[in-house]
Structures are given as structure tokens and as C-alpha cells.
């Protein structure tokens, strides 16, 4: 029996109703740990604790906030190998990917530790002589944070760090599949010196804990990363309470490859963007839009690369692609593989379930060719190691196909042409544009987010995070 990891409510580690067994997707016989599953009453107590702690934390000074975030950053960096291993074990990213993500979480806390010391406002001359106008940012209050399973430490970090830096208290509900990194992060922050109630951890079901957050009038803002369907219900519940909301949802990100692209770069961008992290990224390049003149060479080279990729236990040295996160996701991937075949796409490579030494959710990366942009495999997010090639005649058609989607998170182009790259940067209907770089894998200190069905509300990350985590006050004074 492993030790039970508790929820954190009002500074106390507390039991839940029940227990979540955290299972390793590379080896379903391996239980990573046991985690308390919060009840509706636990969620209510966590919300009350965040509410009660909000006024004092809003008044805490920049030095106190800085010191806590900096201490957390330092501990995450020091323990990044151990945290990366935990991440790989519970989510199925490869060990190097897991360690990279843990380091990213440490860097995010470092960035926002600095931001604590750089909180400024504006002083503007009034149109009325003798009057002073000051514009300042104040915390929003108690923020509800709901995170997905695919970035078990980076996404919690990029929501919790700015929430705390700008003076908010937090109720944090991680995805049920990955409570391990969430618990470790909260433990680090508690020991870094956060006052009781400022950060509350409630692990559990969306239908119980998430719903309690949505229904509570005591939560002032909600930030959510996850599916479009859940995102819409989060937004509707927030509208009901006239409450601030930030959503990051799906993607169907295009990577355009023009005839003049460096073939090696284009292949690297496609393989990394579409298949690394098992394709389980909302920034994944799931539509490879390839000009006629390079199409056959590109498809041959990508297929060759895929044949050389090792799909195996995330913790094994030499693994390039870890398992799919669970049986549900694997069946969804397989459903879309069947849909693609029925729609008439050619499965150029992969798509087989694989057996390895341990029972896990292994899937060969799959490449569809001869697809059209109106097929369901090119319109709906699959969220697995599955990508499609759409053949186009030239740049103009490539741009039109790239933008012909309900999503708009990230878009890439591989080309040597300054003219086409510049035009694409200006005319892509995505929140993030990459030139000769993969659509996935972003910097941690600049805005992250998309347009259309991908995102709703202000951007995350970097200084732009302040838009969501603060509210603006305009004060007039006649001295």
C-alpha cells in the first residue's frame, strides 16, 4: 500500500471521500500512488478557505510573494529529474520530455517571481486641471484553476504562478489522471511559505469538484484548459455568475510546407509537432499542408523518420514516443483511424496498437495521405499521434486551407521565402505563428493562446497574464 496523498484545504492536508489510484500508462500494473478524491463538501470548504484568505493575500507585499515563488522555482529546478520522472510515469511523456516540462514549470515560477517586483500602474494627466488620475491593477480575488492531463506540471504552473503573483488566492483542481505532479507542486508551494488558504488543492471529478467551483458565487474567476465541449459549459456557467473566464481548448493546427522549404527542417517540424508527446498537445500539427512540388519527397522522408521512432515505455532510455494516456484516449485515436479510412484517406504508415514488455497503451504514430480538408480527420481534434497530409498546389491554396478550420491556436510554415513567411504571419488566423519551427513547444515568457474555437478570454503567460488575473482601477484625486 502506498501512502495516501491528501488534498490541501485551508492549510490542512485532508482526506477525501474516496481514493484515486494513479496508474502508469506505460505499465498498468504500476500504481504511481494513491490520492484523496475530494467530495462536494471538500470543494465547498476549499472555496471558503480561498475566499477567507483573499483579503490578506491581496495586501501581501511584492517581497513576500517574490520570495515564495522564487523558493518554489528553485526547488522545482533542483528536483526536475525526480519530478520529470514522476510526470513521465503518470502521464506517459518520455523521460527527457518530462524533465523538460518540469524545468519549464520551474522557469515559469522564476518569471512570475520577478513579475511580483515589477507591478506598476499608470499616472495620467487629467483633462480637469489639478486632478490626478491613477490606474492600478488589483487582484481579482479567489480564482478557480482547472487543468488537463497532458501537461501535468507546466499548465498548473502557468496558471498558479500568475494567480499568486498578482495577489489572488486559488482553488486548484487538476485532471484526475495526473494528480501526482499537481500534489508535488502544491506541497512545494506550501513549504515555500504560502499562508494557509491561499492555495487549495482539491483532486477529484470534474462533475463534482469542477461543478462546485462553477456553481459557487465565491469564485471570482475561472481559468480552464481542456476540451471544447467542457470549455463551453464552463463559459456558460461563468456568464450566469458574471464572472471572469479564460479558456484554452482544442486545436487543428496546420503546418504548411512550401516547395522551397528545407526538407530536413520541414520533416523535423512535422515529426516533432505532430508526434512528440504522443501528439497529445493542443498545439500539435495535425494537418500537414504540403505543396505539390515537395509533396512526394516530404511524405517519403516523414515516413522514413516514423519507421525509425521507438514507441515504448516512457521511462526507458531510447524511447522516442511514450504511450497514449489511457484506454479512453486510445479508443478515440483508433476511432479516428477508422474514420479516416472510411473517408477514403490513405494510411501511409502506422496506426497499429503495439505490445511491449509491460501492459500499456501503445500506438504506432500514424500518417494519413491523400486527404482533403473537409474530412472529419482534418476538422476534429483527435489528440493522439495521428496526422494528415493535405496536398495543395501553391502558397495561396495552402493559406486558405490552413485558415479553413474552426480552430486557431498555432500555425506553422516551412519556407525559404521571406515574402510568403511575412504574408503568412500577417494572414494566418491563429494566435501563434511559427516560421520554420514546430507548431508545438512554446516559450514560457510570452503570450500563449489562440482565436476562434481554440481560446476564449485574455491570453495566458508572460506579462499578458495580468489581463486575466487582475482587475483595473482608475482613481481620481483632487489634492
Please report the sign of the dihedral spanned by the C-alpha atoms of residue 160, residue 162, residue 163, residue 167: positive
Residue 272 as a binder of ligand UN1 (CB under 6 A): the answer is no
Q: Which is nearer to ligand UN1, 9 or 154 (CB)?
A: 154
Please report the sign of the dihedral spanned by the C-alpha atoms of residue 56, residue 16, residue 161, residue 163: negative
Question: Do residues 318 and 310 touch, judged by C-beta distance below 8 A?
Answer: yes
In the complex, the smallest distance separating the C-beta of residue 444 from ligand UN1, rounded to whole angstroms, is 9
Question: What stretches of 391-470 show up as alpha helix (H) in DSSP?
Answer: 395-403, 418-427, 466-469
The contact mask relative to ligand UN1 for 203-232 (x = CB under 6 A, - = no) is ----------------------x-------
Question: What stretches of 284-374 show up as alpha helix (H) in DSSP?
Answer: 292-307, 327-342
Q: How far is CA 279 from CA 329, 343, 363, 466, in A?
A: 11, 21, 11, 30
Q: Which stretch binds ligand UN1 (CB under 6 A): 117-125, 150-158, 336-344, 361-369?
A: 150-158
Question: Do residues 269 and 436 touch, judged by C-beta distance below 8 A?
Answer: yes
The contact mask relative to ligand UN1 for 77-116 (x = CB under 6 A, - = no) is ----------------------------------------
Q: Is 462 helix (H, G, I), strand (E, B) or coil?
A: helix
Residue 441 as a binder of ligand UN1 (CB under 6 A): the answer is yes
Question: Do residues 436 and 414 touch, judged by C-beta distance below 8 A?
Answer: yes
Q: What is the DSSP string of 76-118?
A: HHHTHHHHHHHHHHHH---HHHHHHHHHHHHHHHHHHHHHHTT
The x, y and z cell numbers of residue 385, run together, are 499521434
| Residues 338 to 397 in contact with ligand UN1, rule: CB under 6 A | none
* CA neighbor of 435 nearest in space, from 443, 419, 445, 424: 424
In the complex, the smallest distance separating the C-beta of residue 180 from ligand UN1, rounded to whole angstroms, is 18
Q: Which of 71, 160, 202, 282 binds ligand UN1 (CB under 6 A)?
A: 282
E strand or H helix that includes residue 146: strand 142-146
Q: Which is nearer to ligand UN1, 16 or 110 (CB)?
A: 110
Residue 246 as a binder of ligand UN1 (CB under 6 A): the answer is no
Q: Which of 57, 111, 151, 336 binds ligand UN1 (CB under 6 A)?
A: 151
Q: Considering 75, 91, 101, 248, which one is annotated as catalytic?
A: 248
Question: Do residues 387 and 377 touch, judged by C-beta distance below 8 A?
Answer: no
User: Is 75 one of the annotated active-site residues of the chain?
Assistant: no
Q: Which of 90, 248, 268, 334 binds ligand UN1 (CB under 6 A)?
A: 248
Q: Which of 22, 94, 283, 470 binds ligand UN1 (CB under 6 A)?
A: 283
Residue 442 as a binder of ligand UN1 (CB under 6 A): the answer is yes
Q: Which is nearer to ligand UN1, 75 or 381 (CB)?
A: 381
Total number of residues binding ligand UN1 (CB under 6 A)? 12
Question: Do residues 140 and 470 touch, judged by C-beta distance below 8 A?
Answer: yes
Q: Which is nearer to ligand UN1, 171 or 175 (CB)?
A: 175
Residue 461 as a binder of ligand UN1 (CB under 6 A): the answer is no
Q: Which is nearer to ligand UN1, 39 or 246 (CB)?
A: 246
Query: Binding residues for ligand UN1, per CB under 6 A?
Result: 148, 150-151, 155, 225, 248, 281-283, 440-442
Catalytic residues: 248
Amino acid at each position: 500500500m502506498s501512502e495516501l496523498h491528501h488534498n490541501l484545504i485551508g492549510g490542512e492536508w485532508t482526506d477525501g471521500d474516496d481514493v484515486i489510484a494513479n496508474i502508469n500508462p506505460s505499465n498498468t500494473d504500476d500504481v504511481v500512488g494513491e490520492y484523496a478524491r475530494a467530495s462536494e463538501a471538500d470543494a465547498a470548504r476549499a472555496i471558503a478557505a480561498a475566499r477567507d484568505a483573499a483579503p490578506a493575500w491581496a495586501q501581501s507585499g511584492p517581497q513576500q510573494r517574490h520570495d515564495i515563488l522564487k523558493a518554489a522555482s528553485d526547488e522545482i529546478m533542483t528536483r526536475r529529474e525526480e519530478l520529470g520522472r514522476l510526470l513521465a510515469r503518470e502521464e506517459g511523456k518520455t523521460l527527457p520530455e518530462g524533465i523538460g516540462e518540469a524545468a519549464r514549470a520551474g522557469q515559469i515560477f522564476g518569471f512570475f517571481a520577478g513579475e511580483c517586483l515589477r507591478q506598476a500602474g499608470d499616472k495620467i494627466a487629467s483633462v480637469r486641471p489639478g486632478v490626478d488620475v491613477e490606474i492600478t491593477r488589483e487582484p481579482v480575488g479567489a480564482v478557480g484553476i482547472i487543468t488537463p492531463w497532458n501537461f501535468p506540471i507546466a499548465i498548473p504552473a502557468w496558471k498558479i504562478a500568475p494567480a499568486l503573483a498578482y495577489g489572488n488566492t486559488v482553488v486548484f483542481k487538476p485532471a484526475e489522471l495526473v494528480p501526482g505532479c499537481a500534489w508535488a507542486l502544491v506541497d512545494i508551494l506550501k513549504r515555500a511559505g504560502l499562508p494557509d488558504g491561499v492555495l487549495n488543492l482539491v483532486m477529484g471529478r470534474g462533475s463534482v469538484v469542477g461543478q462546485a467551483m462553477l456553481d459557487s458565487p465565491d469564485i471570482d474567476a475561472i481559468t480552464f484548459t481542456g476540451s471544447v465541449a467542457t470549455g463551453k459549459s464552463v463559459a456558460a456557467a461563468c456568464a450566469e455568475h458574471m464572472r471572469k473566464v479564460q479558456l484554452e481548448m482544442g486545436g487543428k493546427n496546420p503546418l504548411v510546407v512550401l516547395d522551397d522549404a528545407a526538407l530536413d527542417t520541414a520533416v523535423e517540424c512535422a515529426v516533432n509537432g505532430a508526434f512528440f508527446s504522443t501528439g497529445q498537445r493542443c498545439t500539435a500539427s495535425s494537418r500537414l499542408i504540403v505543396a505539390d512540388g515537395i509533396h512526394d519527397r516530404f511524405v517519403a522522408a516523414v515516413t522514413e523518420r516514423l519507421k525509425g521512432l521507438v514507441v515504448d515505455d516512457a521511462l526507458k532510455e531510447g524511447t522516442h514516443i511514450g504511450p497514449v494516456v489511457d484506454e479512453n484516449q486510445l479508443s478515440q485515436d483508433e476511432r479516428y483511424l477508422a474514420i479516416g479510412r472510411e473517408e477514403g484517406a490513405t494510411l501511409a504508415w502506422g496506426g497499429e496498437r503495439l505490445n511491449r514488455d509491460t501492459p500499456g497503451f501503445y500506438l504506432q504514430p500514424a500518417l494519413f495521405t491523400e486527404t482533403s480538408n473537409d474530412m472529419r480527420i482534418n476538422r476534429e481534434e483527435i489528440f493522439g499521434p495521428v496526422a494528415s497530409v493535405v496536398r495543395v498546389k501553391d502558397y495561396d491554396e495552402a493559406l486558405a486551407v490552413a485558415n479553413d478550420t474552426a480552430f486557431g491556436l498555432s500555425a506553422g510554415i516551412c519556407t525559404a521565402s521571406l515574402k510568403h513567411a511575412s504574408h503568412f504571419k500577417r494572414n494566418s488566423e491563429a494566435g501563434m505563428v511559427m516560421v520554420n519551427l514546430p507548431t508545438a513547444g512554446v516559450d514560457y515568457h510570452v503570450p500563449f493562446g489562440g482565436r476562434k474555437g481554440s481560446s476564449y478570454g485574455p491570453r495566458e503567460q508572460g506579462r499578458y497574464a495580468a489581463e486575466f488575473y487582475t482587475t483595473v482601477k482608475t482613481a481620481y484625486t483632487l489634492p
